[in-house]
Structure 1
């Protein structure tokens, strides 16, 4: 099972949209996808029409237990979505207490990595939607992934969140003692505005090979898809936003193939 982590230490940059759309495209290709909602705000959980306040179990149960395999976890922890090949491990507000509750627990930064092993063989991909703050959840998601995807809105304030992400990547890399594969993805690009164009230029100058050379444009179809609780590619397969994500997933798959050959 491959793990893709979608993260940025700034909110409102398109993390949940990116997670849901990439999941939809992978499912479209026949892959079995498990989504992890690591954000206490539970946007991904709500996206797929589950009320986080009404759920009996959530990802919090994983951190609060000493599981060794999938059978040790609650049977109804993984929820269905509107799409056959996509399952969801939901979030809850209880996740906001994790940093305080398990701060002294041994192995607290490797819980999701352990979860990956517990579900090995049951899914082809695990996609993780992260909170916009540095803490146990973000560190866990980064420690478990083979590919880190960093959506960045093409506006100047978003670059500050990107700077913090680079610091976090350096921290996790030093702790793991090996480099992390990451890709910065420009989102919400509006070619009509000078701000978007200037920000994209700055990103290209600063991040070079780590910056995806294309952009995800502003597209109201993403909002419509979230309202319908479905992945955009199943509802609007030909819209410009989905087309852009198809190009992104092609890049990610090519990187996977190159890694396997190496």
Structure 2
């Protein structure tokens, strides 16, 4: 099982789009893919037409059993998306209450790691959509993942937000036996604008080899796929955005290139 987390401490940078696009492409290749929605806003869950406000069972259930996760529980929570090979562990808005409980209970940082250990033989890839705030949910994502993807919108404020994410990652890596490798992915890039081009240069100057060699462009087909509730590659595999995400997958599978 390969576990990739998508995280940034700023919203609106393309985290959910990145998860859905990568997951859809991996599923198209025949891999068994599980998406995990750890954001209380539930954008990934809503994408596939499940309501995080009213959903009966969700990833929240895993945190309610105080670390005593049975072999059966995770499999009961997984939902099918209608896309072959693509499954979802949905979010619930109840996740927003976790921080209060986490302080009282303690030991909640490895819930997702324990869950994925149970599901290890069931999936080839797991992609985790993280909330844009540092807390128990993001810590779970970073503790569980083998690879971190940090989408960064090519605009000034998003780059400033990246500084917080990198500081957080430095802190988390001190507590891990093996540091989390990460890649910074420029998103929502518009080559026609000076702001996008200037921000991209700034990213590369500041973070150098940590920045992916290409970009994810602005592409209305990605938004159209969201409106339709399907993986973007199922809507139009030839779209610019999908080709860019396919290139990103090649880099993630073979990071030397």
Match of 1:52 in 2: 52
Structure 1: 5+ residue stretches without partners = none
Cα contact 1:191–1:197 (8 A) shared by 2: yes
1:67 aligns with 2:68: yes
Listed one character per residue, the Cα deviations across residues 80-100 of structure 1 (whole Å, up to 9, x for unaligned) are 102020111111111001010
C-alpha change, 1:114 and 1:180, in structure 2 (3 Å) is same
Cα contact 1:82–1:229 (8 A) shared by 2: no
Match of 1:90 in 2: 90
Structure 2: 5+ residue stretches without partners = none
Moved more, 59-68 or 128-137: 59-68
- Alignment TM-score, normalising by the size of structure 2: 0.96
Q: What's the offset of the Cα at 1:4?
A: 0.3
Match of 1:122 in 2: 122
Which residues in structure 2 correspond to 1:177-256 (within 5 Å)?
177-255=177-255
Listed one character per residue, the Cα deviations across residues 224-250 of structure 1 (whole Å, up to 9, x for unaligned) are 000111111111110111011110001
- Alignment TM-score, normalising by the size of structure 1: 0.94
Inter-partner Cα distance in structure 2 for 1:179 and 1:26: 25
Match of 2:112 in 1: 112
Q: What's the offset of the Cα at 1:158?
A: 0.1
Inter-partner Cα distance in structure 2 for 1:85 and 1:6: 20
Q: What's the offset of the Cα at 1:209?
A: 1.1
Aligned residues: 255
Q: What's the offset of the Cα at 1:24?
A: 0.3
What is the root-mean-square deviation in Å for CA atoms of aligned residues?
Answer: 1.2
Match of 1:160 in 2: 160
Listed one character per residue, the Cα deviations across residues 4-55 of structure 1 (whole Å, up to 9, x for unaligned) are 0000000000000000000001001111111110000000001011111221
Moved more, 53-62 or 20-29: 53-62
Cα contact 1:67–1:73 (8 A) shared by 2: no
